[in-house]
Amino acid sequence: MPTTTTTATTTAPPVTLERVRLGAGGPLSDVRIENGLVTAVYPAAEAPRAPGERLRLDGRTLLPGLWDSHVHMVQWAGVRRRLDLSGARSAREAADAAGKRAAGRPAGELLVGYGFRDGLWPDTPGKGLLDAVTGDRPTLLISADLHCAWLNSAALAAAGHGDHPTGLLREGASMRAVADLTAVSAEVTDRWVREAGAAAAARGVTGIIDFEYADNITDWTRRARTAPPALRVAAGIWLPHLDPAIRRGLRTGQVLDTPGGLLQVGPFKLLSDGSLNTRTALCHDAYPGLAPDAPGAYGLQEVSPPDLVRLLRHASSHGIVPAVHAIGDRACETVLDAFEAVRCHGRVEHGQLLAAKDIPRFAELGVTVGVQPSHAVDDRDVADRHWPGRTHRAYPFADLLRAGAVLELGSDAPVAPLDPWLTIAAAVARTDGAREPWHPEQRIPVADALTGSARGRRLIRAGDPADLVVTDVDPLGADPGTLRRMPVHATMTAGTWTHRTPA
């Protein structure tokens, strides 16, 4: 996806930032901002007097604004209102937690939980287990990777799956059920999204790529016309909305006609396989415990290779950049083969499990890798169990960089929190601090993690869009714990402050 950003129309007053460190490890400087642009950079204390605010920053660090390059924004906005099941160590524990939350709730009110990881559970989720503790209260539990949902009988009936034998929906059926059952009014959804956007701005985020499973261009156009967002949004396009976008002449990177000019057309999102936790990531080797001829032994292929080539060619020929979800090593190989056949630029989302021979191909083919470093921390035990003996090439960020690949970092929120500092720290440390680093040879330097979180921006120069973040600590001198907690002093998008710490 193009990394250039069109400047938004802005009425923000000009400002001069005084005595700010220009980039991680950079010199003390003064920076002038007008009309949504960085218009001049001076040595500290040498900026001429000019109209507007003069903000003394006392040696804080000024960085390019941060992006989260993979978000499901509506899911993330709603997740803070849901039952957290990330700590459940078994299906029984998750069901009991749902039963306690369901007690006393109105019979027809949907209970939603999220964050379970059944790939390590000793028992199997099933609708009977949920029915026993939730009764006739519709209950929907969503896996951490968003590729699986566990429903009780009442929720299955509401989702049109009343005769489902297990209550465990996977992949497309799961995503449709979650979208249908959790739908609230546009007014409520948009309010939640605004709150989530403000929270992201407080962590230094100036833009996101939104891959919500929805008509994102329509939804974000409505939101932007009601209240301009606190950050730039590249609205992803799913297959049902691809041809309508093509008929409108939309192209990836095109800025849409909304107040503030912060909304742009995103890439075309396509799923090629599933996830590792759900055991649907498409791999070259059969999953442990499954016979090679067993159904699903190697994972799930969501789209055939010929159809993949056809869809990539169709989208790219109309100026819409493909972004293909691929997690398993076989899926990644198949997707790279398709990019090679079409000869178009694009993105692979996740690229978690790679064959060594495929690592150089990203750079050779001009395919960006959208990676989520927090997954390497959260899913290390799942990978050790379900991809044993090969985890040295799981989440191989350092190898990809050495091979010349372009990495763009994201969270996959709500799979991980929409907080770029947690993402950066995971890329740098390969641990959340509670355990020893997992495959530390795949750690990457702070400078590269910052670049991957800023869509390739390393410097702040005159003429750049004024998408900026001010931190109290220079990231280059921060330990991983400080990176995770990074104190963000202020955030600016298109020359407008979207977050400022009170004096």
Bridge partner residues of 234 (DSSP): 209, 264
* Residue 248 buriedness (CB in 10 A; 0-12 / 13-18 / 19+): exposed
Are the beta carbons of 5 and 431 closer than 8 angstroms? no
Closest to 220 (Cα-Cα) out of 190, 183, 243: 190
Predicted confidence band of residue 8 (pLDDT cuts 50, 70, 90): very low
pLDDT at 191: 94
* Residue 297 in this model has a pLDDT that exceeds 60: yes
Q: Name all domains of the chain by residue range, CATH numbers in brackets.
A: 1-64+460-503 (2.30.40.10), 79-181 (3.10.310.70), 186-263 (no CATH), 272-406+436-445 (3.20.20.140)
Q: Considering just the CA atoms, what is the radius of gyration of the chain in Å?
A: 23
d(CA 150, CA 143): 8
pLDDT at 503 exceeding the cut of 80 = no
Instruction: For residue 95, give the 3-state DSSP assignment.
Output: helix
Tell whether the model's pLDDT for residue 10 goes beyond 80.
no
Element (H, E) at 444: none
Q: Does pLDDT of 361 surpass 70?
A: yes
Higher pLDDT, 75 or 256: 256
Give CA 497 to chain center in angstroms: 23
pLDDT of residue 12: 87
Residue 120's pLDDT is what? Answer: 86
- In sequence order, which residues have a C-beta less than 8 Å from that of residue 408 and are 6 or more positions away? 67, 69, 347, 368, 369, 370, 371, 452, 455, 456
Residue 106 is predicted with a pLDDT of 77
Residue 23: the pLDDT is 94
What pLDDT is attached to residue 257? Answer: 96
User: DSSP letters of 279-320?
Assistant: T-S--SSPPTTS-TTSTTTT---SS-HHHHHHHHHHHHTTT-
Strands (E), 23-110: 28-34, 37-43, 53-56, 61-64, 66-71, 83-84
467: tokens are 């998408």
Q: Which of 102-116, 204-218, 233-247, 278-292 shows the lowest mean pLDDT across its residues?
A: 102-116
Tokens of 3: 């990394």
Residues 32-68 have pLDDT tens digits of 999 999 999 999 999 999 999 999 999 999 999 999 9
Assign 10 to helix, strand or coil. Answer: coil
Phi/psi-derived region of residue 167, left when phi > 0, alpha when psi is between -120 and 50, beta in every other case: left
Is the pLDDT assigned to residue 5 strictly greater than 80?
Answer: no
- Encode pLDDT of 381-418 as tens digits: 999 999 999 999 999 999 999 999 999 999 999 999 99
How many of the other CB atoms lie within 10 Å of CB of 390? 16
Task: Report the alpha-carbon distance of residue 406 to residue 219 in Å, rounded.
Answer: 30
